[in-house]
Amino acid sequence: MSTVTTTYKVSGMTCGHCEGAVSEEISRIEGVSAVQAQAASGQVAVTSTGELDDAAVRDAVDEAGYELIGRA
């Protein structure tokens, strides 16, 4: 099965705890196999088994307490 990696821009991450909170919430989305958040750049790379619904990613980022700016 092929995977897709999508990079998103997230506002508000400042530290490792922020990265963990965002990663944890996004990893709960069905089909997500890996999440790599980087507070310094504000980018979150999400690997999944197919295209993700941006609204689901936005909801997960909101749940973590941050703001999804959009795809990077």
Question: What CATH number corresponds to the domain at position 11?
Answer: 3.30.70.100
Q: Looking at the 3D structure of the chain, how many domains does it have?
A: 1
pLDDT of amino acid 1: 67
pLDDT, averaged across the chain: 97
DSSP summary character for residue 52? P
Sign of torsion over alpha carbons 11, 36, 23, 1: positive
Q: Is this model's pTM higher than 0.85 or not? A: yes
Summarize the confidence of residues 29-33 as an average pLDDT.
Answer: 97
pLDDT of 50 higher than 70: yes
Which range marks the domain in which residue 21 is found? 4-71
pLDDT of 7 higher than 80: yes
